[in-house]
Structure formats: C-alpha cells, structure tokens
Structure 1
Amino acid sequence: MIFNDLPVLTTKNLAERLGVGPRSLIRGFDRQRNKFMDGKHFFVVTGDELVKVKRELKDSKHACILYLWTEEGAFLLAKFLRDVSSWESYLQNVFTYYEENRQHQDQGT
C-alpha cells in the first residue's frame, strides 16, 4: 500500500515477511523506540485517517491504531530483532516489496 507517497507495510504484513509474530516486532520497536522517527520510519494512523486506510486493508478491520512501516523502518525493525533468519527474510522478501513499489511509482501505476 502507498501512504504519504511511500510504500508501507502494516505491522502484521511486515511480521509475516520477516517470519516473526507481530508482538515480536512491537516488542523490538518498544525497546528501541528512541531510534525511530514518526514520519520517517513509521506512521501512526488513527481517527478519520485510520477509517480511510482500513478501507484499503482487509486484515486490520478491528484496529483502533495502526502502524505503517516505511522501508527504513522495516530495516531498523529487522536489525533489532537480532535474528539471522529475520535478516535473510528482510533481504529476500521485504526489500523486494519496496523495490517493486518503487518500480510501480516510477512507471506511474
């Protein structure tokens, strides 16, 4: 999905791509929160904006707050998981997601 002109992933989608549970991601994020910048690494979506975003998503219907992760944020989260398989997943799966979205933006689709 594109949010604020950037390809982003939800916590659930990113966790699936990294091969971990969403709670593991949030714990890693909470432990290192001072290293993340809202608007650069992630977006917190609430209120009316959340209603709009949830229309596009099928897996977040009941969320009252949603974190959307940018490529840089996904990289930091993978780094803080301290798990070799997470790095491998990042390189193979997450990077591909963002690269494909960049290509679609470049093509105007």
Structure 2
Amino acid sequence: FCWNLADYIDESLVKPVVGRLWSSLKPGGMLLAFFHTRDAGADAPCYRYHIMGNETLEMHPIVTHGDSRGRAPAAGNVHFRLQRVFNNRHIENLFHDFSSIKFFLARDNVREVLVVR
C-alpha cells in the first residue's frame, strides 16, 4: 500500500487515519509512506502513487476540480495545500504500533518511509 496524504490532511485526522491504515493491513503487510523533509510552500505538488512492479512507482498529480456541487474554483484547478512538515520523531510516533519502520531520503526532499504491520 502506498500513502502520502499525512502532509496534506488536517492535523486532527492524521492519527485516526494512520490507525485505520494499521487495522486495514494484515500482519506483515507493508505501507510505503511519503513525507516532505522541508516546507515546500503551499504549492507543493500532491501525487497519487501506483506501485507498478518491484522497481517501478508511477506518480500522478492530484488536482481538485471545484467544489462538491461541480462549481470550478475562480483560478482554475487548485492543488492540495501542504499543511505541515513532519520530523523523524513525529513519524516514528505516528507509526508506533507497527512492527518495523525504515526511513529513506530521496533526492527530491521527500522522505520515503517503509513500515511493516
């Protein structure tokens, strides 16, 4: 499973969503999570990730197209807004119920975190 929305969702939702991810995974199941390493500003792109194979990860930008009633925003498409940047300690605390956590730093200032239930 691949997940990257912790940086973008409201703070009050992060822990409950991580708890739900934990309960959705079978023991031994893996989650690949992505976190920004520094504030990239409000316009930091948000991606939907698809694991395509052992060595291939496909990225698609996520863009909102208006409100739930179908009205377009005034300035066209709007990106999800980066809400915060988590440090390593905070990420470890988020995933404390998981059996293993490994951090990898990508060249694009994104922290890749592999956790095992």
Higher normalized strand content (fraction of residues): 2
Both proteins in one fold, TM over 0.5: no
Report the structure number with the largest CA radius of gyration. Answer: 2
Higher normalized helix content (fraction of residues): 1
- With normalisation by structure 2, the TM-score equals 0.29
- With normalisation by structure 1, the TM-score equals 0.30
